[in-house]
Amino acid sequence: MKICTFTTFAFEKKMNIPNEKLGKSLADEIKLVAKEERIDPNTLKKRICNGKVVILKLKDFAPVGIGEGLRTKINVNLGTSSSEYDRDQEIQKVLVAQKHGADTISDLSMGGNIDQIRNELMEKCTVPITTVPIYQAVVQEGSMLNISNEAILKVIERQIKDGVSSIVIHAGFSLDDLNKIKGRRIMGMVSKGGSFTASIMSQNNTKNPFLDIFDYILEMMLASNTVLNLGNAMRSGCVHDLIDEPQFAEMLNNSRLATLANKKGVQVILESLGGHVNARDLIQWIKIHKQVTNSRPLFVSGPLPTEIGLGYDHISASIGATLASGYGADYICAITPAEHLGLPSVDDIKNGLIACKLAAHVGDSMKYGLNHLFDPDLQLSKHRFLREWEQQFQISLNTEYLKEKFPKRKKDCSMCGKYCALLTSKRIFDNFN
């Protein structure tokens, strides 16, 4: 398939004019984020006005900056499904995710009373929360075929009123794109929100419904400082489904929509290159994506660079996420060991998040080198050399697990016992005196 020509990018660049509106109501948040990220507030503000950074917030909790020059952030997906809804379990997931350092949470609930569940989860939330309104619209209407624009707008309005920090819409693809995929991909379309949106379009032979109501959505978002996340409906569902024209077209369309939103003063995150992408292409496309979208904040889910790790997809995803974040992605979604198998347990959420944190952290070292984010690594190494276990455990990602596993840790380690290289080399160095 032929890829769009590169002249489009120049066009994009012209459209992207710094917009003071974007940073307007974020004065306090900019100060807080700049301090947290150790960057100059003016630089941060400039990036926000250029659409390269967004700030998400929930109520009066710490705002979270995402984008150029900032620490790679991590999102955790949770929420009930149509076949499994246990409110308490989802609340536990919120608590575990926050305890282990999730930067944001997405409530993807589709089972039970969705408004109620969302609000109950939000009561426990101290980090920004994102929703995909089309999910609730589908459940409420009891159909994914006939959903009016009004119904979608009502859901969005309700969720924004409830205080969500960000919403995802799949506005960047058309029926024509779907037709191009047909028979040419192994996995078809794997985006749930995308498939709902496509379902409406296909049933009624219409254009993307979000385009008709885009201005209304922006108005609501602007009034509430909600961040727009332009989802990727066209992402590939297996490493052999290579980046194709529909996927590339969606990148460009979303980038154009982002420019329009930015103009109105709405902050935008672009979701792209999630799902499954082979590692070689992933590295190239992450770079290309950053280029063609003027370095807008890039959110990726996974991506998985191999399929054969079923049951261990949190590890496959941590490999993909490292490459993604290391080469430019700003925001990554944790993948759990239950991916492709079922709704994750609380433990799955924890394990997926820890794997993702390692990926984001290593990605940050690829982006920034060993900056202040690696101070904990430095401290841990110093304690390791002195075989100070308690202090190592404190700094590690899962202190509780280590303390449980080694309640009374001996100084010696059973790997090398008396033949510890650290002790031997210390003795040798002392000999040099």
- Does 183 bind its own copies (CB under 8 A)? Our answer is yes
Do 172 and 166 touch, CB atoms closer than 8 A?
no
- Does 374 bind its own copies (CB under 8 A)? Our answer is yes
- Does 178 bind its own copies (CB under 8 A)? Our answer is yes
- Does 371 bind its own copies (CB under 8 A)? Our answer is no
Token pair for 280: 């070689």
Least Å distance between CB 138 and its own copies?
7
Indicate the residue among 49 and 181 with the shorter CB distance to its own copies: 181
- Does 279 bind its own copies (CB under 8 A)? Our answer is yes
Indicate the residue among 1 and 17 with the shorter CB distance to its own copies: 1
CA distance 327 to 231: 20
Nearest CA to 316 among 302, 300, 332, 333?
A: 302
Do 301 and 236 touch, CB atoms closer than 8 A?
no
Instruction: Identify residues 198-227 at the interface with its own copies (CB under 8 A).
Output: 198-199, 202-203
Q: How many residues bind its own copies (CB under 8 A)?
A: 109
Indicate the residue among 61 and 385 with the shorter CB distance to its own copies: 385
Q: Pick from 138, 168, 324, 332: which binds its own copies (CB under 8 A)? A: 138
Which span sits near its own copies by CB under 8 A: 26-34, 54-62, 256-264, 377-385? 377-385
Interaction mask 348-367, its own copies, x per CB under 8 A: ------xx--xx-xxx-xx-
Nearest CA to 381 among 399, 361, 401, 395?
A: 395
Token pair for 257: 């929509």
Least Å distance between CB 136 and its own copies?
12
Contact partners, residue 364, CB within 8 Å, separation at least 6? 71, 72, 325, 371, 373
Least Å distance between CB 53 and its own copies?
22
CA angle 226, 230, 233 (to 5 degrees): 145
Nearest CA to 239 among 330, 308, 192, 170?
A: 308
Q: Pick from 36, 115, 245, 307: which binds its own copies (CB under 8 A)? A: 307
The SS3 of residue 282 is helix
Q: Using CA atoms in the order 70, 72, 76, 77, what is the torsion angle rounded to 10 degrees?
A: 90
Instruction: Identify residues 16-55 at the interface with its own copies (CB under 8 A).
Output: none
- Does 322 bind its own copies (CB under 8 A)? Our answer is yes
